[in-house]
Chains A and B, each alone.
Chain A
């Protein structure tokens, strides 16, 4: 029963969707504070490269220790890269689009992440550590829900907790209320004694850390090796997802799994022997992105589902 096409598709949808959720929630928090981080893709690549390097360097000791270290390094590098952006757009009030794109090119497949891959000779060997599937409560063999819900790796569960946590944070905590106010009317929030600069720094750096972890997921779970441009545009899809999800965490998950399924559709069908051009399937997620963004910006914007009003704008008292 668990070999059914649907189950296989959904399982790989979860696999490809997980980094989208983690990076997407991170981007959502940054955007809710008013900072548009266009360098997510670059941060993910940096996270993927450094996490893989770390996991390859640790040859002794238990595997979980190496993986934990790798994920933490990915997150830390994500914070470091995002720090460049925050200093530029929050402290120096530079244009967010230009800064984000410049940082993306700096870190991207033609930049630092590729350099790290070359210097570290990362592409020469396959990974020695892969995130293990956890068989929760021994229910992994249950029909359908077993492989989907009870037999996933730790970052899948983390992405679920992260989503629920982000939703709770935004609507049920004072800090979440302040975050929403900072993204909508930073001057009003400032007048009410909310530290706008601190909120923007914190959430953009948090978004950077999450993008780093999302990148690490590629080299520790999806591929378990390093090739240049390993994320192949997933960072952009994460940004599009935030728009499609109307800046709501729960919608990010739905969208991410939809994209995950579409991404894996090509591989799955090919594995089953369908003869269809691979290019068609690999272009599907991006076509879907385009389609969904058009849909979201037009008809649906009538409802109170708009971007944070101060998104992309520098704050000046």
Chain B
């Protein structure tokens, strides 16, 4: 701190580096920290999640914690909030050594964590959720009216518009996130930890969130921001710490250094990463139409529409991104093409051949490959081996069976070849359940892509995958497009769609709100369409 003060006095620019050095000194950072860890080690059976990790977040700082899946980010944060106890090491709150035996004891110290899959009770109201476990007045009575007033006042104070009486399960994801933030603010949190908060938000919602976070930091509170969206990190965070396989792999002060997404990725993985799609797309101007959908309509069992009048085409080598907030008919749309969903009206053609509603075999024979969102449910059978899973789609072919008898050896050989080709870490006889998310996804892609499909329907293909697995999966899709397959890419991650797709169709409430070219697409416009507020007339005319 002395260095900083002296530099302020002299006000000479040449002093700045020294001052910054002083601030970067671990001892100084520890003294000024809101929350810090020194030498944290935590082992779970078979894996060391944290290995002598040092970490600290200063007051008034938005601090990003970056790392691949399994790098120990979440474990570290759970230790910092009393969910786990460290095997070794020390936690510091406000620079003083402390212990958090339970989550409640971390609340007392003003530390609050917003978990990735929220900690909300759906059937309860917003107000009830906010006061759960803690109320401003320590009273055994629960006065619903009074609590609603308190929560309303708190929301107003932090400029959040939210109805305290609304049932949480009826809220959108963005609103649920607001409830989580409100919980933290209501409790007077001084340090806020957010575990991948933006994965499910629209761009607008994410922007609002960032504004709230910046405001909290300006008010002197500390924010820890776990993410693997690198752009976001360089945009909103002051400081970044990187974990790699449970070890601290580096940190940077983003206010001082311009660090772009590419170099952050390098810090995380330890090598250069290409997340962007290769410039050479497979799209030729005269490419033939592969997928043609006309007036696809579907209603669910309650009689409300799931899909409304969807018409679109996808050509050879083209990647069409379907953007939208989860649960807006994406699943029904994908499954209609794959033959898993019975639709009411409309027509789906693949290379001219009409598919029939709810007929999976017909779709497979037309050359449709489907990589569903729940890869361990619809996609793969987790209790079966890799080779059994690989043969699930091809067991009827002459190379893999004689009549009802499977040709085990041929299947095994094929599987071994695919394991090598797709760089899957696992034996042909290992159970799919035992694979990491990335390897399981590669098994699924291996099965779907080797049939040389005309059309590939993929849903959130990189969800939950780490940076290198994401890179591989995206490469595989791009290569398939270059080979001439048409690809329908359904994703909640707009960044992914912008990176990969040639055109973007936005779906909301089962309806295509508009189709735009990915090149030069305006994120704000897409975000509005995701919320169903786009001007449909204009876009359908443009498309």
Of A41-49, A188-196, A225-233, the segment with at least 4 beta carbons within 8 Å of chain B is: A188-196
Of A64-72, A168-176, A270-278, the segment with at least 4 beta carbons within 8 Å of chain B is: A168-176
User: Is A184 at the interface (CB under 8 A from chain B)?
Assistant: yes
Of B57-65, B132-140, B437-445, B521-529, the segment with at least 4 beta carbons within 8 Å of chain A is: B132-140
Docked CA distance A176–B167 (Å): 18
Chain B positions within 8 Å of A299 at CB level: none
The answer to whether A181 and B103 touch across the interface, beta carbons within 8 angstroms, is no
Report A179 CB to chain B, min CB distance, Å: 11
The answer to whether B115 and A191 touch across the interface, beta carbons within 8 angstroms, is yes
The answer to whether B141 and A181 touch across the interface, beta carbons within 8 angstroms, is no
Interface string of B122-134 (1 = CB under 8 A from A): 1110001001111
Q: Which of A115-134 contact B (CB under 8 A)?
A: none
The answer to whether B141 and A174 touch across the interface, beta carbons within 8 angstroms, is yes
User: Is A178 at the interface (CB under 8 A from chain B)?
Assistant: yes
The answer to whether A193 and B120 touch across the interface, beta carbons within 8 angstroms, is no
Docked CA distance A176–B143 (Å): 12
User: Is B395 at the interface (CB under 8 A from chain A)?
Assistant: no
The answer to whether A192 and B119 touch across the interface, beta carbons within 8 angstroms, is yes
Chain B positions within 8 Å of A174 at CB level: 131, 135, 139-142
Report B496 CB to chain A, min CB distance, Å: 28
Given A174-B142, A185-B120, A309-B122, check contact A193 B135 (CB 8 Å).
no
The answer to whether A188 and B139 touch across the interface, beta carbons within 8 angstroms, is no
Docked CA distance A64–B410 (Å): 83
- B106 — nearest CB in chain A belongs to which residue? A193
User: Is B320 at the interface (CB under 8 A from chain A)?
Assistant: no
Chain B positions within 8 Å of A304 at CB level: 123, 167
The answer to whether A191 and B131 touch across the interface, beta carbons within 8 angstroms, is no
Q: Which of A49-102 contact B (CB under 8 A)?
A: none
Docked CA distance A177–B128 (Å): 8
Docked CA distance A177–B132 (Å): 7
Name the one of A176, A185, A192 contacting B133, with C-beta atoms under 8 angstroms: A192
Docked CA distance A184–B102 (Å): 21
User: Is B104 at the interface (CB under 8 A from chain A)?
Assistant: yes
Docked CA distance A175–B142 (Å): 8
- A194 — nearest CB in chain B belongs to which residue? B133
Name the one of B124, B134, B167, B183 contacting A181, with C-beta atoms under 8 angstroms: B124
Name the one of A171, A175, A309, A317 contacting B123, with C-beta atoms under 8 angstroms: A309
Name the one of A172, A176, A188, A193 contacting B121, with C-beta atoms under 8 angstroms: A188
**Contact-residue bracket for chain A:** 20 to 34
Docked CA distance A302–B183 (Å): 30
The answer to whether A184 and B141 touch across the interface, beta carbons within 8 angstroms, is no
Chain B positions within 8 Å of A306 at CB level: 123
Chain A positions within 8 Å of B140 at CB level: 173-175
The answer to whether B102 and A193 touch across the interface, beta carbons within 8 angstroms, is yes
Given A181-B124, A193-B107, A194-B132, check contact A188 B118 (CB 8 Å).
yes
- A181 — nearest CB in chain B belongs to which residue? B121
Residue of A180, A187, A193 ringed by the most chain B CB atoms within 10 A:
A193
Docked CA distance A114–B167 (Å): 49
Docked CA distance A175–B133 (Å): 9
User: Is B113 at the interface (CB under 8 A from chain A)?
Assistant: yes
Docked CA distance A175–B103 (Å): 18
Docked CA distance A306–B140 (Å): 27
The answer to whether A181 and B132 touch across the interface, beta carbons within 8 angstroms, is yes
The answer to whether A193 and B104 touch across the interface, beta carbons within 8 angstroms, is yes
User: Is B83 at the interface (CB under 8 A from chain A)?
Assistant: yes
Chain A positions within 8 Å of B124 at CB level: 177, 180-181, 184
- B115 — nearest CB in chain A belongs to which residue? A191
The answer to whether A185 and B121 touch across the interface, beta carbons within 8 angstroms, is yes
Given A174-B135, A193-B107, A193-B133, check contact A187 B128 (CB 8 Å).
no
* B interface SS class: loop
Interface string of A27-52 (1 = CB under 8 A from B): 00000000000000000000000000
Chain B positions within 8 Å of A175 at CB level: 140
The answer to whether B123 and A172 touch across the interface, beta carbons within 8 angstroms, is no
Docked CA distance A204–B102 (Å): 23
Docked CA distance A174–B132 (Å): 8
Chain A positions within 8 Å of B135 at CB level: 174
Chain A positions within 8 Å of B121 at CB level: 180-181, 184-185, 188-189
Docked CA distance A171–B131 (Å): 14
Report B301 CB to chain A, min CB distance, Å: 12
The answer to whether B120 and A190 touch across the interface, beta carbons within 8 angstroms, is no
Docked CA distance A304–B144 (Å): 19
Report A34 CB to chain B, min CB distance, Å: 12
Report A240 CB to chain B, min CB distance, Å: 22
Docked CA distance A190–B115 (Å): 12
Chain A positions within 8 Å of B120 at CB level: 185, 188
Chain A positions within 8 Å of B141 at CB level: 172-174
Report B477 CB to chain A, min CB distance, Å: 34
Interface string of B144-181 (1 = CB under 8 A from A): 10000000000000000000000100000000000000
Chain B positions within 8 Å of A187 at CB level: 119
Q: Which of B366-410 contact A (CB under 8 A)?
A: none
The answer to whether B122 and A193 touch across the interface, beta carbons within 8 angstroms, is no
Report A80 CB to chain B, min CB distance, Å: 29
Given A185-B122, A188-B121, check contact A193 B134 (CB 8 Å).
yes
Chain A positions within 8 Å of B132 at CB level: 177-178, 181, 188-189, 192, 194
The answer to whether A176 and B142 touch across the interface, beta carbons within 8 angstroms, is yes
- B169 — nearest CB in chain A belongs to which residue? A304
- A185 — nearest CB in chain B belongs to which residue? B121
Docked CA distance A176–B124 (Å): 12
The answer to whether A192 and B115 touch across the interface, beta carbons within 8 angstroms, is no
Docked CA distance A185–B102 (Å): 18
Chain B positions within 8 Å of A193 at CB level: 102-104, 107, 133-134
Report B185 CB to chain A, min CB distance, Å: 14
Chain A positions within 8 Å of B131 at CB level: 174, 177
Docked CA distance A191–B183 (Å): 12
Q: Which of A270-317 contact B (CB under 8 A)?
A: 304, 306, 309, 317
Name the one of B103, B118, B123 contacting A184, with C-beta atoms under 8 angstroms: B123
Residue of A172, A177, A187 ringed by the most chain B CB atoms within 10 A:
A177
Interface string of A228-272 (1 = CB under 8 A from B): 000000000000000000000000000000000000000000000
Chain A positions within 8 Å of B144 at CB level: 171-172
Chain A positions within 8 Å of B115 at CB level: 191
Chain B positions within 8 Å of A181 at CB level: 121, 124, 128, 132
Chain B positions within 8 Å of A176 at CB level: 142
Chain B positions within 8 Å of A173 at CB level: 140-142
Q: Which of B61-114 contact A (CB under 8 A)?
A: 83, 102-104, 107, 113
Given A184-B122, A185-B122, check contact A191 B142 (CB 8 Å).
no
Name the one of B102, B119, B143 contacting A188, with C-beta atoms under 8 angstroms: B119
Q: Which of A137-177 contact B (CB under 8 A)?
A: 171-177
Report A306 CB to chain B, min CB distance, Å: 8
- A187 — nearest CB in chain B belongs to which residue? B119
Can you name 17 A-B residue pairings with CB atoms under 8 Å? A171-B142, A172-B142, A172-B144, A175-B140, A177-B124, A177-B142, A180-B124, A181-B121, A185-B119, A188-B118, A188-B121, A188-B132, A189-B133, A191-B119, A192-B132, A306-B123, A309-B123
Q: Give B residues with C-beta under 8 Å from A.
A: 83, 102-104, 107, 113, 115, 118-124, 128, 131-135, 139-144, 167, 183
A191-B83, A192-B133, A194-B132 are known contacts; what are 18 more A-B pairs with Cβ within 8 Å?
A: A171-B142, A172-B141, A172-B143, A172-B144, A173-B140, A174-B139, A174-B142, A177-B131, A177-B142, A178-B132, A180-B121, A184-B123, A185-B121, A185-B122, A189-B132, A192-B103, A306-B123, A309-B123
Q: Give A residues with C-beta under 8 Å from B.
A: 171-178, 180-181, 184-185, 187-194, 304, 306, 309, 317
**Interface pairs A-B: 6 shortest CB-CB:** A192-B133, A193-B104, A191-B119, A188-B119, A193-B133, A185-B121
